[in-house]
C-alpha cells in the first residue's frame, strides 16, 4: 500500500460480488482511469485524485464511518444492518447516504423449506431464523411483537435448514436462483434494496470536498444518461401537439422545418426515459415517420 495521501479521495467498493462490476463501471463512466495495485486491493486513479479500495461489502459502512474511506458504494441491505448495529453501540450518524444508484436491486426476504406451510410472519413465533442480518431481523420481530431466535450466519445462510441449524432463513434474494437450488420458498419481504453512495459525515478538506461534489455531479449525469434517449422523427405539422405529448419525459423538443415540405417538420428531443417499441408504435399511429432513437453518451446540466 502506498503512503496515505490525505488529498486523494478514497472510495470503498465491493471486492467481488454482485456490485463489483457495476460500481467500477460507474466510476469508469465518471471518467476515472485506474490501475490495480499489486495486492489487488487498491485501484489507483491515474487521471483523477480518486483511489478505489476493494473490500468486503459488509466492511464498507465501517470504513466510511472510521474515516478510512470518504465514500463507499454498498447496498441498502448492508447499510440498514450496519446503521442499526452502530446505533445500538451509540453511534447514530456513522455515514450519510448521498445518492441512490440504479443497480444492485434485490430484497431481503424470509424463505422456508418447500414443504413447510406459511401463513405469514406470525408463523415465525418460536422458530429459529438463520440470517446475516441479525439487527434488521431483530428489529422486524420487535415491531411485530414476535419472539423467535435469530441464528447469525456470515454466509451460506441458505444451507442452515438442511444442516438442522434453523427452521427458516432471512436472506437476500435477487434472481431467486439460490433459494430454488436449495429447495427454499420465498415468503414475506422485509426490505427492498438498491445500492447507494455513502459519504463520511465528517468535514473533509476543501480541495477534496470539491472533487467529491464533482464526482457526485458526474454520477448524476451517468444515471440520467442511462435512462435517456435522443429521438429524431418527422411529423405532420397538424400532429405536432399530439406527438410532443407522446414523447416520454422530454421537455421542449426542437422543431425544424423540412426543406420543400410545408406540411411536415423534423422533431429532435432528449427523452429522460427509455423509449420502448410501444411508444414508437403510438408515435407512428399519430403520424410520425422516419423515427430514429439514439443512445445519449454524456449529459451535464
Ligand atoms: C446474496 C445472498 C444469496 C444470493 C441470492 O449474496 O446471500 O447468496 O445473493 O441471489 P440470487 O437470488 O440471485 O440467487 P451476496 O451476493 O449479497 O453476497 P454476500 O452475502 O456474500 O455479500
Ligand atoms: Zn456481503
Does pLDDT of 7 surpass 90?
no
C-alpha cell at 277: 417499441
Higher confidence at residue 2 or residue 122? 122
Does pLDDT of 1 surpass 50?
no
Residue among 154, 172, 179 to mutate when testing ligand 1 (max atoms within 8 A of CB): 172
Residue 112, H or E segment: strand 106-113
| CA atoms of 203 and 196, how far apart (whole Å) | 20
C-alpha cell at 193: 434494496
Does pLDDT of 264 surpass 60?
yes
| 149-152, strands of its sheet edge to edge | 149-152, 128-131, 168-173, 106-113, 184-193
Q: What is the pLDDT of residue 143?
A: 97
Q: Which ligand lies nearest to the CA atom of residue 158 in the structure?
A: 1
Domains belonging to the chain, first-starting first, are 9-102+195-225 (3.40.190.10), 106-193 (3.40.190.10), 229-295 (3.30.70.120)
Q: What is the average per-residue pLDDT within 98-123?
A: 96
Q: Is 155 in the pocket of ligand 1 (CB under 6 A)?
A: yes
Q: What is the average per-residue pLDDT within 181-192?
A: 97
| CA atoms of 151 and 139, how far apart (whole Å) | 14
Neighbours of ion ligand 2 (CB under 5 A): 57-58
Any idea which of 73-77, 146-150, 249-253 has the lowest mean pLDDT?
249-253
Band of the pLDDT at 213, cuts 50, 70, 90?
very high
Amino acid at each position: 500500500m502506498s503512503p496515505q495521501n490525505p488529498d486523494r479521495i478514497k472510495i470503498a467498493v465491493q471486492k467481488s460480488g454482485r456490485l463489483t462490476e457495476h460500481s467500477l463501471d460507474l466510476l469508469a463512466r465518471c471518467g476515472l482511469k485506474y490501475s490495480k495495485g499489486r495486492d489487488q486491493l487498491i485501484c489507483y486513479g491515474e487521471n483523477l485524485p480518486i483511489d478505489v479500495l476493494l473490500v468486503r461489502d459488509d466492511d464498507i459502512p465501517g470504513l466510511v464511518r472510521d474515516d478510512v474511506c470518504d465514500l463507499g458504494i454498498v447496498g441498502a441491505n448492508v447499510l440498514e444492518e450496519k446503521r442499526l448495529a452502530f446505533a445500538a453501540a451509540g453511534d447514530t450518524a456513522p455515514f450519510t447516504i448521498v445518492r441512490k444508484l440504479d443497480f444492485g436491486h434485490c430484497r431481503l426476504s424470509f424463505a422456508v423449506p418447500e414443504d413447510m406451510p406459511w401463513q405469514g410472519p406470525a408463523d415465525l413465533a418460536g422458530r429459529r431464523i438463520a440470517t446475516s442480518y441479525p439487527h434488521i431481523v431483530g428489529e422486524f420481530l420487535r415491531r411485530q411483537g414476535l419472539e423467535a431466535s435469530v441464528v447469525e450466519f456470515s454466509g451460506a445462510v441458505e444451507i442452515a435448514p438442511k444442516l438442522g441449524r434453523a427452521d427458516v432463513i432471512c436472506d437476500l434474494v435477487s434472481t431467486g436462483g439460490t433459494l430454488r437450488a436449495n429447495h427454499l420458498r420465498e415468503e414475506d419481504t422485509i426490505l427492498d434494496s438498491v445500492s447507494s453512495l455513502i459519504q463520511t459525515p465528517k468535514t473533509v478538506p476543501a480541495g477534496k470536498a470539491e472533487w467529491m461534489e464533482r464526482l457526485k455531479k458526474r454520477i448524476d449525469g451517468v444515471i440520467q444518461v442511462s435512462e435517456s434517449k435522443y429521438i429524431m422523427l418527422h411529423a405532420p405539422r397538424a400532429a405536432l401537439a399530439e406527438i410532443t405529448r407522446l414523447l416520454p419525459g422530454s421537455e421542449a423538443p426542437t422543431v425544424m422545418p423540412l426543406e420543400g415540405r410545408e406540411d411536415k417538420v423534423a422533431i429532435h428531443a432528449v427523452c429522460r426515459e427509455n423509449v420502448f417499441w410501444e411508444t414508437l408504435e403510438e408515435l407512428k399511429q399519430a403520424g410520425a415517420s422516419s423515427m430514429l432513437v439514439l443512445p445519449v453518451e454524456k449529459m451535464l446540466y
